[in-house]
Every structure is written in C-alpha cells, then in structure tokens.
Amino acid sequence: MARKIAFLVAPEGIEQQELIDPWQAVTDAGHEPVLLSTESGEVQMFKHLDKADTQQVDALVADAEPAEYDALVLPGGVANPDALRMDENAVEFVREFVGSGRPVAVICHAAWMLVEADVVSGRKLTSWPSLQTDVRNAGGEWVDEEVVIDENLITSRKPDDLPAFCDALLEAIGE
C-alpha cells in the first residue's frame, strides 16, 4: 500500500544527499514523497557549503495537517534546521507528528528540530556530533551510532549513514 511521506525543509541550506537519497528510496518503494517548506517556490539544496540543485515545494507546512502523512523525514544541513526551528508552524508540525506515534526519520543537524519541538526528553537518539550537548540538555540520551531507533524516532548522524537510515525508514513505513 502506497504511503504519503512528508519531507520538511527550510527554503535553503538543505544537505542535498540527505533529501535526495531518502526521497528516492521512498519513491522506489512506491510511496508518495511530499516536500513541505515554510515558503512556496523552490528550495535550495547544498553539497556541504556549495549551492547544489533546487527542488519545487509541494505544500506549505502552515497549511499541512500531520494526520495526512504516514511518516515524516527531516533532512539535515546546518542552515536548514537552524532556520526551520524558528518557524512556529514547522516546530508544531514536528511536535504533533512525533506525538502521533508515526515514524519520524531525522538525520544529521535536523535533530535540532526535535530539541526545539521539546520531544527529546527520555529518548535515545543520534545526530551530527556537535548536537550531542543540545540533545543531552534537552533530556535525551545521545549515542554515536549509524542509526538509532527509539519507538517512532529514527535518527542517523551523517550522509555516510544514509543507506542504513533509508532502510530503517522503509522498514518503519512497512516495506
């Protein structure tokens, strides 16, 4: 059965591989990825610090209902989650989604969204290593592992972890 998967990003600063690889995995598995952002138009992806491709936004997070989606993916990149966590609609979307029990897959710096949404306390997760203090200060247990699954949270550290991250996401949505 095809699932509808939300990918939530800011207008720029998304680490391209962390959006494209899970998007392709979801598409190849026969599911429908939907790109949500805080602004309409195109989002700017990056390969580390260099501008890369753009991708068209499908819907605004302010208009999106978490209940319409079967899973949520939060790609990283430093600037992406840093900007996204300043948007109240995006933070509330993440908070509500995590609370729903449906899969939430978060990679690299995107764990900042979990901290901002106040859903880390008592949870075990991983992220880019520089976020470990933020995770611990928010009441979470940070570990250095390729992929960590804690109930409905799936977290990974970096682009090198994408194969395991995508496998865990597909398993969680029923592939």
State the pTM of this model: 0.98
Kindly report the average pLDDT of the chain as a whole number.
Answer: 97
Q: Is the pLDDT of residue 171 over 90?
A: yes
DSSP class of 100: H
- Average pLDDT for 110-124: 98
CATH number, domain containing residue 27: 3.40.50.880
How many Cβ atoms sit within 10 Å of the Cβ of residue 82?
15
Please state, in angstroms and rounded to a whole number, the distance separating the CA atoms of residues 148 and 158. 12
Q: What crossing angle do the helices spanning 162-172 and 16-28 adopt, rounded to 10°?
A: 40
Share of the chain above pLDDT 70, in %: 99
Mean pLDDT for 146-170 is 98
pLDDT tens for each residue of 74-112: 999 999 999 999 999 999 999 999 999 999 999 999 999
The residue type found at 45 is M
The catalytic position among 79, 91, 108, 148 is 108
**Using one digit for the tens of pLDDT, what is the confidence trace for 59-73?**
999 999 999 999 999
Examine the pLDDT at 175 and tell me if it is beyond 80. Answer: no
Q: Which domain holds residue 37?
A: 4-172
Angle at 103 between CA 15 and CA 80, to 5 degrees: 20
* 25 in Cβ contact with 17 (< 8 Å): no
Total domains, the chain:
1
The question of whether 166 is a catalytic residue gets the answer: no
